[in-house]
Structure 1
Amino acid sequence: MKKEKKHTPKPKDFTATPFQSLKGFQADTPAAPVPAPKPFLLPETGDDSDLFLRAVANVRPLQEEPERPRPQKAAVPPKARFEAADRKVFLDAIEELKLDVNFRDELPDGIVPLKPLPVNRMRQLRRGALRIDYELDLHGMTRDEALESLARFITGAFNRGQKAVLVITGKGNNSPDEPVLQGAVASWLRDRGKLMVTEFAPAPRQMGGSGAFVVFLREKEGNQGLGAGG
């Protein structure tokens, strides 16, 4: 008689399903990531403006810096306006001065028309080659006294054959009469003394400068009989 073999049941694989009995409940599945927004693209065209818009579509403006104030240039007024204003001021000033605009051939007293002296003569005078032995000082004289003395002085120097003499009138810094003497002397030398005087000019600085005249005399021949009247 055969013995019956006992079959030992094979253990089942363990599977833990604690929530299998909970029907109707399901664990939430993780949400799918949100895709990043795609950049907005314009349809490609051959237009330059479309290409520019497409290029700057995703550009974000930077933070704007405050605009620096530009230095303002001073406004330049119209030149014509200033010229007109200056012209009016000038004309008004002329009207107030009431100037005599009549031109005359004769120069008023006190204006000496200086004739350029020969360079060699002035050079000789400065170097001492041309000597001035006679001079007349008119300081302190009245106009009439000065002209009378001047006439005698020039006539005497001319008769002696002098080439140059010095006439001192003063600059008029300390006496109001001295400018009057300068004009009177210049007029006499230019008019009444023209037959004896070739030319005259302010003296060099070492001889008195503008306060004196160097008078160059003509040759005596042919000029006899000139009086000394003023």
Structure 2
Amino acid sequence: MGELGLLRRALQHAREQEAARQRAQEQARQQAWAAQHLFEAAVGEVTPLKSGAKRHWSAPPAPEPRPVQREKDERQVLQESLSDEFDVSTLLDVDDQMSFRRPGIGLDVTRKLRAGYWSLQGQLDLHGLRQGEAREALAMFIRLSHRAGLRCVRVVHGKGLGSPGKTPVLKGRVQAWLAQKREVLAFVQARAAEGGAGALVVLLQPNRKKY
């Protein structure tokens, strides 16, 4: 009789454990369902749209990339605005072609520049531009040429044959503007085959920065 009682108690304990296990499983299922349907439970009952047409959603178009370097260059050009009142005559070497060399640059540099020692790597033609347009174009051209690592460029300003009185006004302006640019080491009048009195050959500072 004692063994029978023990067996009954063991069976009862097993049934209780099974019932507890089933309750735990049911509670876990309810929690999982609640987690999966949390949004529905929060929103409540919804009414579907009457139209049967499908709605397609797409991300908004990406913004256009900003030309950061170009904007930086333009700001720098504005900051380094060139004066029209700058007197370059005191800085020019008084020779038959009125060359310019920055202080500390020897005469041999302008001689080499005039002789074509450095190959021309770029050119800016200012024909047809107004004075303000020519100033801005020259400032940008010198800055970008220096940034690209160019050493020798040509600036064509014309001989002024179309100006009132046939006076080469732009030539003097270009000389003054170039003398104000820190990137410019020297300039000379171009050789006859390269534009003669209507152009200048410009030597730029070496650019040791890497972009």
TM range (shorter): 0.3 to 0.5
Question: TM-score normalized by structure 1?
Answer: 0.43
In terms of fraction of residues, the more helix-rich structure is: 2
Q: Which structure ranks higher in relative contact order (CA pairs < 8 Å, sequence separation ≥ 6)?
A: 2
Question: TM-score normalized by structure 2?
Answer: 0.47
> Which structure is larger by alpha-carbon Rg, 1 or 2?
1
